[in-house]
Structure 1
Amino acid sequence: MRILLLGGTGAMGVHLAMLLSKQGNDVFVTTRKDRMNNAGITYLRGNAHDPLFIEEILREGWDAIVDFMVYHTDEFARRVDLLLRYTNQYVYLSSARIFANEDAYITERSPRLLDITSDTDYLKTDEYALTKALQENLLRASGYKNWTIVRPYITFSDIRLQLGVYEKEQWLYRALQGRAIVFSKDIASHYTTLTYGEDVAQGIAGLIGNAMALGEDFNIVTAESLTWQEVLDLYVRTIEECAGKRPPVVYTDTCLNLLFKRTQYQVKYCRLFDRKFDNRKILSAVPDLRFSDVRISLQRCLCALINSRRFKTIGWRNEALLDRVSVEFTPIREVESFKLYMVYLLFRELPLECVKYVINHR
């Protein structure tokens, strides 16, 4: 099959491209950067948000398209017909964040935040969980039946590892620099579901060309769940084993992201929910799918990250806020420029109400 991955250069996309290529498919991946073609994998350089670029590619016709792109809903509405018209199967990457709080295990039929929340301020936003649900609605109303909706939840790999709302650049980087990991008690007690990215890729691969997948939605998640405190404890032990020093942990009562308009909703409508999943539907459609042991996979990926020290750009405003909590200072030698260090010092020393005003009104 000829398979197109839109935006498929992230951790999950890389795994999926390799799996599909090994199965003998011709895989094409859009990318903004120059990349070397591999056996069975061809990179198409361009911006997949550019209508001219994407229309030219789509008109070639595809057996399957897997869409990793993040769209504004109006943008997706303009292109959904095009995406569905030029492929036999369109796989849309949604998110299990769309679901409301559930005491029971979450299934594909669980209520969605978009449909039941009474928070009018939240509904006015384009927050990720709402956007994904709205775009699912567009697929269902399209008149086509050649779509498949897949919903990962929180995925991890040897290049991405989260702790609550924090990416590795906001917790692991600090730990390896000898500063405290900052975490919050309100999130620590809640259950989460972390799924190894390669397992999700295998689930997606099993749905491509699968007649059972057309016009259907699947939560691709492990059935194993941990509290965030258990995740943090595993991280701390692993850092001590792999890096030789146990990092300190400083707790706040509530998550710092609740202070800011743009970051509060991920906390309120995701991390403060208990997230446990019933994954029988994906296992029925892809019977040979096996999910990795979460603790073993987390430890392996964390050790790999400790050894590689591969971090994206550090956000020095955020680092300043974390240092305020832990009563620590980042030395100037860590920061790329004097200008950025001045930004760090400003956010480190300004009264917190001033920091909140600056961030909430930028």
Structure 2
Amino acid sequence: MKVLFIGGTGLISEAVSKLAIERGIELYLFNRGKRDAHVPSGAKVILGDIRDPKSAAAALEGYHFDVVVDWIAFTPEQVSIDIELFRGRTKQYIFISSASAYQKPPVHYIITEDATPLENKYWQYSRDKIACEQLLQEEHASTEFPYTIVRPSFTYGDTMIPAALNSWPHPWSLIARIRAGLPVIVHGDGSSLWTMTHNSDFAKGFVGLLGREEAIGEAYHITSDEVLTWNQIYEAIGAAAGAEPKLVHISSEFLVSHDPELTGGLLGDKAVTSVFDNSKIKQLVPDFEATLSFAEGIKRTVAWFEAHPERCTEDAEWNEQMDAIIAAHASGFKK
């Protein structure tokens, strides 16, 4: 099978790329060559910029693929470019959407692809993903464009310390804060339910979708079946760090009032209980099973960072923000 990944070197796609090659797939990566260190051995790289339609068309001239996966499309305009580029040149186009596209809050805490509506009034990112899905559905109805939609939830790997609140440029900041005995913010009371998925588990479900005619015109989420409270998630992070975290519970609304940029990620995603029914992906890919618990996965992540001390950097500005929010919250309880 001949497969093209647009991107293919990101946190989630890198794990999928490796597994695809292990399973004998002829894999091409189309990107600008900015992350060569993340290109798995055996993958062929086509240099180009998908954001420049003319140069992208020139770079891809003469190529045909069984499957095309765009890991970096976020808006309908970007998906429209893909449709024009790959119309008649692939048997399956896979769009990476997001589980944050599901209704917030959902009509039922267990989320299924076909029963849970797509609606997110809190996050433009999610609304854009929904619009992309609608565009593909319309294109399929009018021209039979062979799309498949995949909606990842919170998916992490060795290079990411996942939490509702952390510094994205300097993710080690959370571990350093825990080890220093500093308070760590947990949104709400920490009892809402959430799902963490390791990228190696996600890859098993995703690779099973490649080239599957039954998946055309369908949407799938791919997540772990392990359900944890946010308190348990932070406790597992602390255990991996070797220190008990000092958790401070602060409402999501309070957090958003201090930093409006948190609105999408909290009210539009992580503040809402999300439990995923993976029956649909398992029916099509029977050997898919998420086997890595979060407790074990986050240990691997911390070990990876410790083996790469140059990545164990702290974000002073983020730490100051956490301290300021905690202080503001505490002042409201002082007599």
> Could you tell me the TM-score, scaled by structure 1's length?
0.78
1:240-251 aligned within 5 A = 240=242, 245-251=243-249
The Cα shift of 1:137 comes to 0.5
CA distance in 2, matches of 1:113, 1:312: 38
Q: Which residue of 2 aligns with 1:35?
A: 36
Q: Does 1:197 pair with 2:199? A: yes
Checking the alignment, whether the CA contact within 8 Å between 1:24 and 1:40 is kept in structure 2 is no
- Which deviations, in whole Å up to 9, do the C-alpha atoms of 1:162-206 show, x marking residues without a partner? 112434345224335x25252134162210011111111111110
Q: Which residue of 2 aligns with 1:278?
A: 277
Q: Residues 181 and 4 (structure 1 numbering): CA distance in 2 closer, same or farther, change over 3 Å?
A: farther
The Cα shift of 1:74 comes to 2.6
1:15-94 aligned within 5 A = 15-32=15-32, 33=34, 35=36, 39-59=41-61, 60-94=63-97
- Which deviations, in whole Å up to 9, do the C-alpha atoms of 1:32-73 show, x marking residues without a partner? 326277643112333332223322244322111111104333
Letter in 2 for 1:141: E
Q: Residues 20 and 316 (structure 1 numbering): CA distance in 2 closer, same or farther, change over 3 Å?
A: same
Checking the alignment, whether the CA contact within 8 Å between 1:159 and 1:310 is kept in structure 2 is no
Letter in 2 for 1:73: P
Q: Which residue of 2 aligns with 1:358?
A: none
Q: Does 1:110 pair with 2:107? A: no
CA distance in 2, matches of 1:15, 1:295: 17
Q: Does 1:219 pair with 2:221? A: yes
1:1-362 aligned within 5 A = 1-32=1-32, 33=34, 35=36, 39-59=41-61, 60-100=63-103, 101-102=105-106, 103-114=108-119, 122=122, 127-142=124-139, 143-166=143-166, 167=168, 168-176=171-179, 178=180, 180-186=182-188, 188-240=190-242, 245-254=243-252, 256-308=255-307, 309=309, 311=311, 315-325=315-325
Query: Percent of counterpart pairs with the same letter?
Result: 24
Unaligned runs of 5+ in 2: 328-335
**Greater CA deviation, 148-157 or 286-295?**
286-295
Greater RCO, 1 or 2 (C-alpha within 8 Å, sep 6+):
2
Q: Residues 98 and 4 (structure 1 numbering): CA distance in 2 closer, same or farther, change over 3 Å?
A: same
Q: Which residue of 2 aligns with 1:352?
A: none
> Could you tell me the TM-score, scaled by structure 2's length?
0.84
Letter in 1 for 2:294: R
- Give the SS at the match of 2:302: helix
The number of equivalent residue pairs is 315
The Cα shift of 1:304 comes to 2.0
CA distance in 2, matches of 1:7, 1:314: 28
Checking the alignment, whether the CA contact within 8 Å between 1:84 and 1:147 is kept in structure 2 is no
**Greater CA deviation, 43-52 or 149-158?**
43-52
Q: Residues 99 and 282 (structure 1 numbering): CA distance in 2 closer, same or farther, change over 3 Å?
A: same
Task: Name the Cα RMSD after superposition.
Answer: 2.7
Checking the alignment, whether the CA contact within 8 Å between 2:47 and 2:59 is kept in structure 1 is no
Q: Residues 95 and 295 (structure 1 numbering): CA distance in 2 closer, same or farther, change over 3 Å?
A: same
**Greater CA deviation, 11-20 or 30-39?**
30-39
- Give the SS at the match of 1:182: strand
- Which deviations, in whole Å up to 9, do the C-alpha atoms of 1:121-165 show, x marking residues without a partner? x5xx7x221111110001101132411111110011111121124
Checking the alignment, whether the CA contact within 8 Å between 1:192 and 1:276 is kept in structure 2 is yes
Letter in 1 for 2:113: E
- Give the SS at the match of 2:260: coil
CA distance in 2, matches of 1:187, 1:130: 27
Q: Residues 258 and 136 (structure 1 numbering): CA distance in 2 closer, same or farther, change over 3 Å?
A: farther
Checking the alignment, whether the CA contact within 8 Å between 1:20 and 1:27 is kept in structure 2 is yes
Checking the alignment, whether the CA contact within 8 Å between 1:76 and 1:135 is kept in structure 2 is yes
- Give the SS at the match of 2:110: coil
Letter in 1 for 2:229: T
Unaligned runs of 5+ in 1: 328-362
CA distance in 2, matches of 1:183, 1:306: 22
Q: Residues 227 and 75 (structure 1 numbering): CA distance in 2 closer, same or farther, change over 3 Å?
A: same
Q: Which residue of 2 aligns with 1:338?
A: none
**Greater CA deviation, 55-64 or 10-19?**
55-64
